[in-house]
């Protein structure tokens, strides 16, 4: 059935984004478009083939399958396909076939490019990459690599204090990094000289190592400016050395922080770090929803927003640990408090429960355990007061199972790896997101490295973990629709946590396991997986784009809830979305389903 140009023009007026184009542009599209009349079961293109253009379905039904033959989408009237492959490299990343006799309008590549170059709404529709949005370049979002002073002044540990003081005077600086062959040993400041050297009248030949702060807190060039502010506010320090692979590469001081962007979140951190009770802290954490609104409204990317919000939870946890020790006395043996779940991954939003555990030094005795049970209860109760509610699954340090000596933790992980039953899969998934928060961090280092090595080399365990990771599926329905929640309080909504974000979190965890990657943050895992060759560049780009879109949609939904006076949640009614947003969100879900299919078929990389 041939289509007239007027029929094509009328049709385009009913399809986004062409419905927003002027009449003369639509007429030009109609003149340049190709028409394809295909029979049922006809293959339109195969994996890796050169695409003839973007397809619009005027009539019929088309099925899209991935490289493994899994159906990722069934498309009907007014749906389009082929855009992603056409703009990426001109090659098909999927297969397409007609399920019944169909009439297709094909927009040739040169026409698509003209439309993208000339019309912003078309450009936005086709270029779905949100990962290249820079957002506001402020202190909060700038990498430390941009903020730090490079080649900081240094001295050797045996340098006499007067010589170090003259060096600071001559260079007009307030601190010196003490190094040995570029390895950072400590930092000495003018305050150290006045309070330790001058005030105590130490001899002139006193070495700088005698008054320096040994093993100072450091950050890496890839951390962000808010990390600097939050540490400075919490610890009351004004100088932070920057190290890469153990080597000193720069320093950030208070005088370097000339922007204002992170003041709001940093102020919450400061107030929590000086609070004297959980109730006082709760008055601060109650401001998190409004902070969420401000951060999203300012255009911050989702990983920046969740990082800033997680920093507040980390500070609250450390402050509660301090208050607990003030109440209970010093701990009988070293311990480490760790977070898992969204806090462990630094991905907290406006609604979070608590997931945590305690690792104790192996010298702990039965007589010491009541102390740590009391400490766990104090901190967990305090977090609940602050709005980080008790974990429904009791994944908390108050559960004796998750408050154990390091040797027991090793037994846990070894047992889960050796016998990956359903409970082991679930627990291992949670525990692979562990991140130290407060205490003796050394307790975790060897455990993490050894566990990743043992787990990644056990093919049966990896297979079970992959199967477990595929239990959360994107909410894709047939005919370009969504599979919404079927019943209960959130009926007819999309669960953007369990069916949106969690599938990507699970994939990131699998890639980290396969590559023995130590990152806990999902976005960092995906990037590290690409760098390690576990995930192909195109697969990483597609999955990052999809994740960014879903995660930002989730935050925008929470912001709308807060603005309306309701509490933030993860349940988005599709009716809240425009046609434009629905189209892109569904495409993001299709990408995730495709990546899940690749992992499920034993293909860690997607070309």
- The β-bridge relationship of strands 95-107 and 34-38 is antiparallel
- Which is more confident, 96 or 300? 96
First vs last Cα of the chain: how many Å apart?
37
H helices then E strands: how many in the chain? 23, 19
Q: How far apart are CA 419 and CA 410, in angstroms?
A: 14
Indicate the residue among 225, 258, 291 that finishes a domain.
258
**Same domain for 70 and 11:** yes
- The answer to whether the CB of 316 falls within 8 A of the CB of 383 is yes
Q: How far apart are CA 542 and CA 341, in angstroms?
A: 24
Closest CA to 417 of 465, 467, 468, 345: 465
Q: How confident is the model over 530-552, as pLDDT tens digits? A: 999 999 998 899 999 999 999 99
Cβ neighbours around 324 below 10 Å, total: 22
Least confident residue range of 69-83, 179-193, 350-364, 370-384: 69-83
Indicate the residue among 205, 231, 258 that finishes a domain.
258
- The β-bridge relationship of strands 403-405 and 356-360 is parallel
- The answer to whether the CB of 47 falls within 8 A of the CB of 92 is yes
Query: Tokens 């205490």 appear where?
Result: 439
Least confident residue range of 82-91, 238-247, 525-534, 567-576: 82-91
- The answer to whether the CB of 139 falls within 8 A of the CB of 163 is no
CATH number at residue 356: 3.30.460.10
**Same domain for 440 and 355:** yes
**Same domain for 312 and 230:** no
Q: How confident is the model over 495-520, as pLDDT tens digits? A: 999 999 999 999 999 999 999 998 89
Say yes or no to pLDDT of 301 above 90: no
**Same domain for 188 and 100:** no
Alpha-carbon distance values, 2 to 5, 103, 104, 105 (Å):
10, 9, 10, 11
Instruction: Kindly provide the residue ranges of all beta strands, DSSP E only, lying in 196-236, ordered along the sequence.
Output: 213-214
Whole-number pLDDT of residue 478: 65
**Same domain for 220 and 87:** no
Asked whether residue 428 is domain-assigned, the answer is yes
**Same domain for 431 and 284:** yes
Asked whether residue 462 is domain-assigned, the answer is no
Whole-number pLDDT of residue 605: 41
Closest CA to 272 of 140, 383, 364: 383
Q: Is the dihedral of CA 447, 452, 458, 460 positive or negative?
A: positive
Model confidence band, residue 264 (pLDDT cutoffs 50, 70, 90): low
Cis peptide before 17 (omega within 30 of 0): yes
Asked whether residue 542 is domain-assigned, the answer is yes
**Same domain for 430 and 283:** yes
Whole-number pLDDT of residue 132: 40
Query: Tokens 């043996």 appear where?
Result: 333
**Same domain for 154 and 122:** no
Q: How far apart are CA 82 and CA 92, in angstroms?
A: 7
Q: How far is C-alpha 5 from the chain's CA centre?
A: 47
**Same domain for 225 and 295:** no
Asked whether residue 454 is domain-assigned, the answer is no
Closest CA to 354 of 397, 325, 311: 397
Q: In this structure, what are the phi and psi dihedrals at residue 298, rounded to the nearest 5 degrees?
A: -80, -5
Model confidence band, residue 449 (pLDDT cutoffs 50, 70, 90): confident
**Same domain for 415 and 330:** yes
Q: In this structure, what are the phi and psi dihedrals at residue 363, rounded to the nearest 5 degrees?
A: -80, -5
Closest CA to 302 of 555, 586, 605, 47: 555
Asked whether residue 137 is domain-assigned, the answer is no
Asked whether residue 452 is domain-assigned, the answer is no
Range of the domain at 359: 276-446
Indicate the residue among 383, 413, 446 that finishes a domain.
446
Say yes or no to pLDDT of 575 above 60: yes
Q: What radius of gyration do the chain's Cα atoms show?
A: 28
Asked whether residue 461 is domain-assigned, the answer is no
Number of domains into which the chain is organized: 4
Tokens for 210, please give them. Answer: 């005698």
Q: In this structure, what are the phi and psi dihedrals at residue 142, rounded to the nearest 5 degrees?
A: -80, 140
The secondary element (H helix, E strand) that includes residue 238 is none
- Which is more confident, 518 or 125? 518
Q: How confident is the model over 169-217, as pLDDT tens digits? A: 998 888 999 999 878 999 999 999 999 999 889 999 999 999 999 999 9
CATH number at residue 13: 2.60.120.10
Model confidence band, residue 604 (pLDDT cutoffs 50, 70, 90): very low
**Same domain for 225 and 342:** no
In three-state secondary structure terms, 269 is helix
- The answer to whether the CB of 257 falls within 8 A of the CB of 231 is no
Query: In the predicted model, what is the mean pLDDT of the chain?
Result: 87
CATH number at residue 168: 3.10.580.10
**Same domain for 334 and 247:** no
Model confidence band, residue 129 (pLDDT cutoffs 50, 70, 90): very low
Asked whether residue 268 is domain-assigned, the answer is no
Tokens for 398, please give them. Answer: 């108050």
Model confidence band, residue 259 (pLDDT cutoffs 50, 70, 90): very low
């Amino acid at each position: 059935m041939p289509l007239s140009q007027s029929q094509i023009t009328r049709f385009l007026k009913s399809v986004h984004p062409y419905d927003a184009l002027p009449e003369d542009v639509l007429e030009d599209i109609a003149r340049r478009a190709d028409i394809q009349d295909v029979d049922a079961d006809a293959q339109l293109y195969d994996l890796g083939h050169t695409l003839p253009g973007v397809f619009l379905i005027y009539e019929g039904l088309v099925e899209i399958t991935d490289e493994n033959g899994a159906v990722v989408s069934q498309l009907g009237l007014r749906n389009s396909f082929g855009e992603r492959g056409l703009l990426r490299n001109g090659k098909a990343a999927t297969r397409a076939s007609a399920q019944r006799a169909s009439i297709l309008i094909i927009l040739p590549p040169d026409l698509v490019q003209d439309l993208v170059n000339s019309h912003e709404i078309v450009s936005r529709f086709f270029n779905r990459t949100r990962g290249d949005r820079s957002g506001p370049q402020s202190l909060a979002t700038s990498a430390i690599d941009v903020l730090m002073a490079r080649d900081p002044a240094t001295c050797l540990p045996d340098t006499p204090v007067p010589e170090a003081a003259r060096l600071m005077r001559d260079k007009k600086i307030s601190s010196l990094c003490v190094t040995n062959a570029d390895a950072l040993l400590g930092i000495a400041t003018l305050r150290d000289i006045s309070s330790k050297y001058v005030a105590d009248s130490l001899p002139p030949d006193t070495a700088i190592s005698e008054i320096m702060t040994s093993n100072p807190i450091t950050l890496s060039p890839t951390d962000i400016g808010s990390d600097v502010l939050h540490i400075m506010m919490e610890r009351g320090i004004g100088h932070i050395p920057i190290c890469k692979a153990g080597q000193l590469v720069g320093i950030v001081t208070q005088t370097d922080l000339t922007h204002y962007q992170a003041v709001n979140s940093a102020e919450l951190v400061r107030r929590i770090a000086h609070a004297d009770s959980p109730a006082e802290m709760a008055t601060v954490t109650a401001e998190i929803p409004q902070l969420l609104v401000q951060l999203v409204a300012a255009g911050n990317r989702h990983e920046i927003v969740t990082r800033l919000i997680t920093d507040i939870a980390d500070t609250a946890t450390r402050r509660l640990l301090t208050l607990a020790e003030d109440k209970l006395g010093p701990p009988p043996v070293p311990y480490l408090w760790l977070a898992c779940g969204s806090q462990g991954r630094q991905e907290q939003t406006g609604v979070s429960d608590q997931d945590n555990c305690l690792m104790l030094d192996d010298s702990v005795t039965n007589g010491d355990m009541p102390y740590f049970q009391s400490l766990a209860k104090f901190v967990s109760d305090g977090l609940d007061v602050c709005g980080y509610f008790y974990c429904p699954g009791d994944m908390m340090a108050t559960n004796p199972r998750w408050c154990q000596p390091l040797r027991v933790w090793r037994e846990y992980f070894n047992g889960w790896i050796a016998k990956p039953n359903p409970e082991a899969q679930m627990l291992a998934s949670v525990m692979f997101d562990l991140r130290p928060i407060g205490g003796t961090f050394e307790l975790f280092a060897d455990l993490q490295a050894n566990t990743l090595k043992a787990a990644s080399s056990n093919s049966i365990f990896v297979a079970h973990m992959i199967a477990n990771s595929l239990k959360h599926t994107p909410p894709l329905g047939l005919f370009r629709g969504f599979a919404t929640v079927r019943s209960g309080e959130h009926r007819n909504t999309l669960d953007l946590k369990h069916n949106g974000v969690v599938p990507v979190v699970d994939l990131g965890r699998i890639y980290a396991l396969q590559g023995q990657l130590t990152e806990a943050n999902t976005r960092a895992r995906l990037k590290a997986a690409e760098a390690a060759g576990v995930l192909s560049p195109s697969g990483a780009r597609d999955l990052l784009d999809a994740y960014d879109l879903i995660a930002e949609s989730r935050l925008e939904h929470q912001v709308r809830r807060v603005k309306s006076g309701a509490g933030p949640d993860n349940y988005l009614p599709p009716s809240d979305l425009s046609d434009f947003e629905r189209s892109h969100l569904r495409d993001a879900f299709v990408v995730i389903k495709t990546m899940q299919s690749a992992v499920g078929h034993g293909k860690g990389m997607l070309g």
